[in-house]
Amino acid sequence: MKIYLSIILFLVSKMVFAQTTPEQHRPHFHFSPPTKWVNDPNGMVYYKGEYHLFYQHYPDASVWGPMHWGHAISKDLLHWEHMPIALYPDSLGYIFSGSAVADVQNTSGFGKAGGETPLVAIYTYHDPIGEKAKRNDFQTQGIAYSLDKGRTWIKYTGNPVVKNPGIRDFRDPKVFWHASKKQWVMLLAAVDHIDFYTSKNLKEWVKAGEFGKGAGAQGGVWECPDLFPMKVVGKNETKWVLIVNINPGAPNGGSGTQYFVGQFDGENFKNDNPDDKTLWFEYGKDNYAGVTWANNPDGRRLLIGWMSNWQYANTVPTTTWRNAMTIPRELGLHSTSKGLRLFQKPVRETKLLRGESSSIAATSVEGFKNIGNQFVEKEISISFDLNKTTAKEFGIVLSNSKNEKVEIGYDVASKQFYIDRTEGGKKDFSKDYAVKQFAPRLSQSNLVTMHLLIDVASVELFADNGSTTMTSIHFPNEDFGTSQIFSKKGLTQVVNGQVWHLK
Ligand code: FRU
């Protein structure tokens, strides 16, 4: 009798507390830290079968604080093994964002004969004492190296390797090897532009060019840059893509990512479209500080972003940990009617997560139609025929039994995709969170396609072959078990689709 009673009590407590456990909203297939705070991805480098992901981390609280580099390793970009903290603050300051490289030619001299290739991390020191004293030179750049495949890190005794020339925001070094000039290049975000430095050995740096004053979006501070060559898909042409994160000033408010397409000679970047309007990498509110992996062996250009926004990252309703990363994405540079544009798609490894699947047959929908699969974590791929659509808005809606919902839709008249989380559950933690987010459609095809990756606390939309993307987090009081096609004020024609449970 006693045992039955305790089983019943256990089950009832499970039912009552299932939705209020401290781990509610913990992503299932996105990276999140084991505990406490995370912001930017840092130091992403591939080496000997392992993808390294370091990240801005405060191990003592679930809010931003003295920054460390947390660390995780993956063989497939999806399953992450948590590693010990890689870099702790020291007398020069907190460890802010930066990058890592594999110093294959041992230019730094950190390597030992017959030993592992040195992995070298290049990061910003943020000195809180200098900041408090209102000095302008409290951000400098330091390096550390690992001779055991990233397991342990030794800080260079000659730090800082780049002193501050008197610029308050002078940070987030992204370093890469420029093959034809045979030297390392460092990009630094400096308030409203990018500074380029060069070095032969990663230890001694000299200033080269600058780019960006007056260019692109200038509504906030420039942060976390990246620069890499990309072959234009289907053409025998290579361009350089410069990624610049900015906070605030994003199209839907708060933090966001812009990019420039042009040429780079090893010291100076030239924008191909100086008169062009800002190119936004992404339109959702929750993809920030994204940069790409170094040393990736197969030619793919892979990026991961922080799935949050500085407007509310410190107050989102989680407790034991706070914030997560986007799904890693593969970038492609495509020639479109509007010029060269970056497209994104989830890395192909994501397919490894696919479980049970069902197809969506051609059908016309007016109102709502269930798409069957009641798993919370899922992937949906669906296309709609605009020629046979009379609706004003259509798309996919996720909902629960508490009447909470998130709509991922297309607005026919304004030619914009949108994500509406205004009725998506918890929202009182910030006035900037519960808004309808819009993204102008790039494609002009009559077929509107939506590819969605849905986790317990996020949705990522890759529309029209990844030419328009949106990332958005959400915090329903009960997980979104129901997904439906919706069509408002008219009907929409579904051409076909597929749904997968993501394991
Ligand atoms: C971007 C950022 C970086 C900085 C880091 C501090 O989100 O502000 O510029 O290095 O976060 O945690």
CB crowding 12-38: b at 16 or more within 10 Å, else e = eeeeeeeeeeeebbbbebbbbbebbbb
Ligand 1, pocket-test mutation among 164, 172, 247, 312, most atoms within 8 A of CB: 172
CA distance 169 to 259: 19
d(CA 158, ligand 1 centre) in Å = 24
Cβ-based neighbour number of residue 165 at 10 Å:
11
CA of 422 to the centre of ligand 1 (A): 28
CB atoms within 10 A of CB 66: 16
Task: Quote the CA–CA distance of 262 and 173 in Å, as a whole number.
Answer: 20
User: Rounded to the nearest whole angstrom, what is the distance from the C-alpha of residue 181 to the centroid of ligand 1?
Assistant: 30
Backbone angles phi, psi at 423, to 5 degrees: -120, 35
Q: What is the CA radius of gyration of the chain?
A: 23
Report how many helices (DSSP H) and strands (DSSP E) the chain contains, helices first.
2, 33
Task: Quote the CA–CA distance of 462 and 102 in Å, as a whole number.
Answer: 31
Which residues participate in catalysis according to the annotation?
40
What ligand 1 atom has the least distance to the C-alpha of 223?
A: 9
CA distances from 249 to 222, 280, 345 (A): 10, 11, 24
CA 290 – ligand 1 centroid, Å: 11
> Residue 192 Cα, ligand 1 centroid: separation in angstroms?
15
Q: Quick one: pLDDT at residue 16? A: 42
The string of DSSP letters for 288-312 reads: EEEEE-BS-TTS--EEEEESS-TTT
Question: Is the N-terminal amide bond of 89 cis, ω within 30° of 0?
Answer: no
Q: Which residues pair with 291 in a beta bridge?
A: 304
Q: Best mutation site among 67, 68, 97, 257 for ligand 1, i.e. most ligand atoms within 8 A of its Cβ?
A: 97
Which residue is listed with tokens 């913990």? 26
The DSSP output letter for 353 is G
Q: What is the pLDDT of residue 374?
A: 76
Longest distance between any two alpha carbons in the chain, whole Å: 79
Look at residue 373 in the predicted model and tell me its pLDDT.
65
- Distance, CA of 60 to CA of 126 (rounded, Å): 18
Structure tokens at 70: 């947390």
Per-residue pLDDT of the chain (503 residues; tens, 9 = 90+): 455 555 555 444 444 444 458 899 999 999 999 999 999 999 999 999 999 999 999 999 999 999 999 999 999 999 999 999 999 999 999 999 999 999 999 999 999 999 999 999 999 999 999 999 999 999 999 999 999 999 999 999 999 999 999 999 999 999 999 999 999 999 999 999 999 999 999 999 999 999 999 999 999 999 999 999 999 999 999 999 999 999 999 999 999 999 999 999 999 999 998 777 899 999 999 999 999 999 999 999 999 999 999 999 999 999 999 999 999 999 999 999 999 999 999 999 999 999 999 999 999 999 999 997 679 999 999 999 999 999 999 999 999 999 999 999 999 999 999 999 999 999 999 999 999 999 999 999 999 999 999 999 999 999 999 999 999 999 999 999 999 999 999 999 999 999 999 99
| Ligand 1 pocket, mutate which of 36, 38, 55, 56 (most atoms under 8 A from CB) | 56
Sign of the alpha-carbon dihedral angle for 6, 10, 15, 21: positive
* Burial class of residue 6 in the structure, from the number of CB atoms within 10 Å of its CB (0-12 exposed, 13-18 middle, 19+ buried): exposed
Mutation test residue for ligand 1: of 96, 226, 247, 322, the one with most atoms within 8 Å of CB: 96
Residue 337 burial by CB count (10 A; 0-12/13-18/19+): exposed, middle or buried? exposed
Minimum-distance ligand 1 atom for the alpha carbon of 221: 9
The bridge status of strand 36-47 relative to strand 321-322 is parallel
Instruction: Output the CA 65–ligand 1 centroid distance in Å.
Output: 11
Q: Please give the Cα distance from 209 to 371 (Å, whole number).
A: 54
Ranges of H-type helices in 402-502? none
Residues in contact with ligand 1 (CB, 6 Å cut-off): 39-40, 56, 67, 96-97, 124, 171-172, 223-224, 289
Phi, psi dihedral angles at 130 (to 5 degrees)? -60, -40
Tokens at 190, concatenated: 């400096």
Q: State the Cα–Cα distance between residues 87 and 152, nearest whole angstrom.
A: 9
Q: Which tokens in the block code for residue 5?
A: 């009673």
User: Checking DSSP bridges between strand 256-264 and strand 238-247, what pairing results, if any?
Assistant: antiparallel
Burial class of residue 201, CB neighbours in 10 A (0-12, 13-18, 19+): middle
pTM: 0.95
User: Closest ligand 1 atom, CA of 172?
Assistant: 10
pLDDT at 19: 47
Ligand 1 atom 9: residue of nearest CA: 223
DSSP conformation class of 245: E
Q: What is the pLDDT of residue 6?
A: 52
CA of 42 to the centre of ligand 1 (A): 10
Q: Which residue owns the Cα nearest ligand 1 atom 8? A: 223
Which protein residue has the closest C-alpha to ligand 1 atom 6? Answer: 96
Burial of 192 (0-12, 13-18, 19+ CB in 10 A): middle
My answer on whether omega of the bond before 59 falls inside 30° of 0, hence cis, is no
pLDDT on residue 64:
98
